[in-house]
A and B are shown apart, each in its own frame.
Chain A
Amino acid sequence: MISFNRSQIIGAEFIDDDTIRFNGSQTDHIYNMEINMDVRISDGEIVKIEGDMKRYTNFVCPQAVPVLQTAVGMSLRTKDWDKAIMKEIGRKGCEHFAEIVIECGRCFEQALRSRDLYLALCTDPGLDQEAFLENWQPA
């Protein structure tokens, strides 16, 4: 049988032209937590973040929730942004929160690409999708 399983689900809403809202959750045999975070599309800056820790391993863990606010102002477009998240949110707070924030961050460009392809297909259902993605540039 399975001895350990972890699932991550990341969803991206576009709440206005310049804001993407991620909802990320991570559930495994040991932990369960969730993040909501808004990112400004034009510069990749995290503008808002909240988290909920549902299942964890010791009584100190929930103190990592306020540490999440350090992510506000950090940009997903700076070099080694993921290392910075792991250091500031992970080591000083909770590694598993950091894992979700990082997965949201990794979805940033992919989500923009998805939205643009989806919208392009709405107006041109016969679009060459490969070619569209090949030529895709962030607006």
Chain B
Amino acid sequence: MIVKFLRNKVVEVEPRKDGTLRVSWRLTDDLLKMEVNLVVQPPALEIIEATAELGRFVPKGLEDASEIIEDVEGVNIGAGLRKIVRGVLGGPEGQSLLSEAVLECCNAVILHFTRPGLEIGEALETDEERLEAVRAMVKSSPRLVRSCISFQDDSPIMKGLDL
């Protein structure tokens, strides 16, 4: 059946020579075209630059998105991020599009840093070694506990893990 609506979204992280991370987020669907770009500076993961551009049929409240988004400059990707970004960019209905886009950019940065650890685990030879690697990850990242099915109390990963 022919779809009456199609949305395509992509977010990508590109480490640059100067040590910053460039995050590019794009959305296109039948009615909306939107782009958000962040520059994130490690090690504090401060958002040092944020831009946004919308096109096609721009939802109400987002006409000035390119100005509004500047308010996240200076925010660090870290504790309380969701509340901070939603608080700073919050406002009339529909603007959540902008805060959620920024949060997805930040999430991509987190996954950029997550990838190397997972690759190390994947390179291990045996199932036991891999299980130990996941358990070590839980031990060093308390927030993983009960964050998804793999880290619930009755998961085989968590059983016998004294935290």
- Residue B136 interfacial (CB < 8 Å): no
Q: Which of B1-56 contact A (CB under 8 A)?
A: 1-15, 29-32
CA distance A10 to B28 in the complex (A): 11
A11-B5, A93-B148, A130-B57 are known contacts. Are A110 and B32 too (CB-CB below 8 A)?
A: yes
Contact A118 B1 (CB under 8 A): no
CA distance A87 to B3 in the complex (A): 30
Q: Which of A119-139 contact B (CB under 8 A)?
A: 129-130, 133
Contact A114 B30 (CB under 8 A): yes
User: How many B residues face the partner with a CB closer than 8 A?
Assistant: 40
Contact A14 B4 (CB under 8 A): yes
Contact B29 A110 (CB under 8 A): yes
- Residue B114 interfacial (CB < 8 Å): yes
CA distance A129 to B6 in the complex (A): 18
Chain B hits for A91, CB < 8 A:
146-148
Contact B6 A11 (CB under 8 A): yes
Query: Range of interface residues on chain A?
Result: 35 or more
- Residue B134 interfacial (CB < 8 Å): yes
Main secondary structure of the interface of B (DSSP, over half): mixed
- Residue B111 interfacial (CB < 8 Å): yes
CA distance A85 to B130 in the complex (A): 30
Contact B12 A10 (CB under 8 A): no
Return the chain A residue nearest B8 by Cβ. A9
CA distance A94 to B3 in the complex (A): 27
Q: Which of A1-60 contact B (CB under 8 A)?
A: 1-15, 28-30, 57-60
Contact B7 A94 (CB under 8 A): no
Q: Which residue of B100, B111, B149 is within 8 Å of A4 (Cβ)? A: B111
CA distance A95 to B127 in the complex (A): 24
Contact A114 B31 (CB under 8 A): yes
| 26 A-B residue pairs with CB within 8 Å | A1-B14, A4-B115, A7-B8, A8-B7, A8-B9, A9-B6, A10-B9, A11-B3, A11-B6, A11-B7, A12-B6, A30-B115, A30-B118, A58-B130, A60-B149, A60-B157, A63-B150, A64-B148, A67-B149, A91-B146, A91-B148, A92-B152, A110-B5, A111-B4, A114-B30, A114-B31
Binding site for B on A (CB under 8 A): 1-15, 28-30, 57-61, 63-64, 67, 90-95, 103, 106-107, 110-111, 113-115, 117-118, 129-130, 133
Binding site for A on B (CB under 8 A): 1-15, 29-32, 57, 100, 108, 111-112, 114-115, 118, 121, 127, 130, 134, 146-150, 152, 155-157
